[in-house]
């Protein structure tokens, strides 16, 4: 096993899948059998002003694994190193966001009110 992030990214089987509804999904492919593809952390690709953005494909899923029937895809292609890097960065941002939401969920915050001047 390597500690080199570039090697891990380069060796990851990250693909873009074009779905039959026209949407595009990016995910790490963990396994394929006759009829199914097992995806890890799939994200939908949204193009906005010629810029690709990755958003969670399932926003409420408890598991990070999704099985897709191959008949629901039109095609798939291996992503370039740069796209793989952007995908993993988006996953990390989403993970940090979820952790922050869970951490702050139980904290009480004071409303933005004036505090009296304290004189000692």
pLDDT digits (tens, 9 = 90+) for 58-115: 877 778 899 999 999 999 999 999 999 999 999 999 888 877 877 765 555 555 555 4
Residue pair 26/42 in contact (Cβ under 8 Å)? The answer is yes
SS3 46: strand
Other CB atoms closer than 10 Å to residue 42's CB: what's the count? 21
Give tens-digit pLDDT for 94-110.
888 877 877 765 555 55
Exposure b/e, 49-81, CB count within 10 A at least 16 = b: eeeeebeebeeeeeeeebebeeeeeeebeebee
Which pLDDT value is given to residue 37?
Answer: 97
pLDDT band at 3 (very low <50, low <70, confident <90, very high): low
Which pLDDT value is given to residue 118?
Answer: 47
**For the chain, what is the mean pLDDT?**
85
Domains of the chain, with CATH numbers?
5-104 (2.30.30.100)
Which pLDDT value is given to residue 114?
Answer: 54
């Amino acid at each position: 096993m390597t500690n080199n992030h570039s090697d891990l990214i380069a060796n990851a089987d990250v693909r873009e899948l074009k779905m039959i509804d026209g949407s595009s999904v990016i995910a790490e492919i963990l396994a394929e059998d006759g009829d199914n593809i097992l995806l890890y952390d799939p994200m939908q690709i949204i193009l906005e002003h010629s810029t690709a953005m990755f958003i969670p494909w399932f926003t409420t899923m408890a598991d990070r694994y999704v099985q897709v029937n191959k008949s629901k895809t039109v095609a798939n292609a291996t992503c370039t190193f740069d796209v793989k890097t952007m995908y993993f960065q988006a996953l990390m941002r989403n993970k940090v966001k979820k952790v922050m939401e869970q951490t702050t969920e139980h904290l009480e915050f004071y409303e933005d009110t004036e505090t009296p001047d304290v004189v000692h």
